[in-house]
Structure 1
Amino acid sequence: MPTIATKNEVVTVIVIFKVESEKQQELIDTITKFLDTVKQQPGFVSANIHKSLDGVKVANYAQWKTKQDFENFLNNPQVQQQAAKIREHNPDSHVYEVVISESKEGIPEINQKYIYHFAEFRMQPENQPRMIELAKENVVKAMNLPGLVSANFHRSLDGTRVINYGQWSNKEAIENLKKQPGFGSESPYWEGIAENEHHLYELVLSATGK
């Protein structure tokens, strides 16, 4: 079972697709078929496919042994030819490292018993360090609430993204978080530093390498 690389012992790649709701399952099926090839690539560790509950997003939380392994995968023309249909969906893909991980259950495991939450923070690279500082200041408050199992902030190596990959026991707990000062739409803690978009997901498939 895949786990979050809290010490960055593997490289994390997060790919998020925006889709029309009627095409969400079609994209998932296409990715699933492509994974038969991806699983054979050197350095592949895991791919974890999520679909948003509102139907408009698909996310792949992937892991590779090294950044070079992932780049070799991207630079393999035969493999990438098979991914042409997937790229039509304009994936937002970045390489990340874990910078904050808070969990109530030890090292977080990626499995289907949770509701997942990808909070996508987009920013100018000069704002990324401050965004991470603000996340550290506010994550403890969030973890004190019932229902939040783990919060895992990742920073993209290009400086333009911070993603919180969160695990929840129920949707009601997420709505409760939004009512807390600094976490709702009014005066959020990231105001002026980043733009935020978040969706709730379920995990639909995990694939691991040899």
Structure 2
Amino acid sequence: MTTIDTETDVTTLINVFTVVPERQDELVDLLADATEETMRHLPGFVSANIHRSRDGERVVNYAQWESEADYEAIFERPDVREHMDGALELATADYHLYDVALTDER
């Protein structure tokens, strides 16, 4: 389950894909399939949340892993590379790892 909390010890990936609006749904479907078929079964996977921008030009993957090492290990897997190569055929990606600095609720 996704937990956004300064006390939770997880590694957060935020990956912002830039895509042409006509291909946004295709990218969302590819990322959803990758999550269901592969990512959720890998060691250290916690959660993935796919967001689509209302203008159709971006897709954001907010994912959590138990550790940075768990996240980095996924790139050694051919099945993960296959999914990521497919995503990069549709869009450009800007991804970084984050720690939660603040949460505030009303």
Q: Alignment RMSD, CA only?
A: 1.4
Partner residue, 1:74: 75
Deviation at 1:78, TM superposition (A): 3.7
Q: In the aligned structure 1, how far is the partner of 2:82 from the partner of 2:26?
A: 18
User: What amino acid is aligned across from residue 102 of structure 1 in structure 2?
Assistant: D
The aligned residue for residue 19 of structure 2 is 19
Whether the 8 Å CA contact 2:30–2:87 is kept in 1: the answer is yes
Q: Distance in 2 between matches of 1:99 and 1:9?
A: 12
| Structure 2 contact 18–58 (Cα < 8 Å) conserved | yes
Contact kept? 1:8, 1:97, Cα under 8 Å = no
Structure 2 match to 1:190: none
Stretches of structure 1 that go unaligned for 5 or more consecutive residues are: 105-210
- Structure having the higher helix fraction is 2
Separation in structure 1 between the aligned mates of residue 70 and residue 5 of structure 2, nearest angstrom? 16
The CA deviation string for residues 17-38 of structure 1, in whole angstroms up to 9 with x for no partner, is 1111111101101111111211
Give the C-alpha shift of residue 55 in structure 1.
Answer: 1.0
**Alignment equivalent of 2:103, drawn from 96, 101, 104:** 101
Which residue of the partner structure matches residue 54 of structure 1? 55
Which whole-Å CA distance do the structure 1 matches of 2:2 and 2:55 have between them? 25
8 Å Cα contact 1:16/1:91 also seen in 2: yes
Gaps of 5+ in 2: none
Deviates more, 1:89-98 or 1:77-86: 77-86
Question: Scaled by the length of structure 2, what TM-score is found?
Answer: 0.89
Alignment partner, residue 147 of structure 1: none
CA distance in 2, matches of 1:51, 1:33: 15
Distance 1:41 1:59 in 2: 20
Q: What are the superposed Cα offsets for residues 158-188 of structure 1, whole Å, 9 maximum, x if unpaired? A: xxxxxxxxxxxxxxxxxxxxxxxxxxxxxxx
Which structure would you say has the larger Rg?
A: 1
When normalised by structure 1's length, the TM-score is: 0.47
Greater RCO (CA < 8 Å, at least 6 residues apart):
2
Structure with bigger strand share is: 1
Residue 91, structure 1, aligned to residue 76, structure 2: no
Tell me if the contact between 1:31 and 1:86 (Cα under 8 Å) persists in the aligned partners: yes
8 Å CA contact 1:74–1:80 kept in 2: the answer is yes
What's the CA shift for 1:8? 4.1
- The answer (yes or no) to whether the contact 2:46–2:64 under 8 Å persists in 1 is yes
Partner of 1:64: 65
> Which residue number in structure 2 is paired with residue 31 of structure 1?
31
Contact 2:50 2:60 (8 Å CA) reproduced: yes
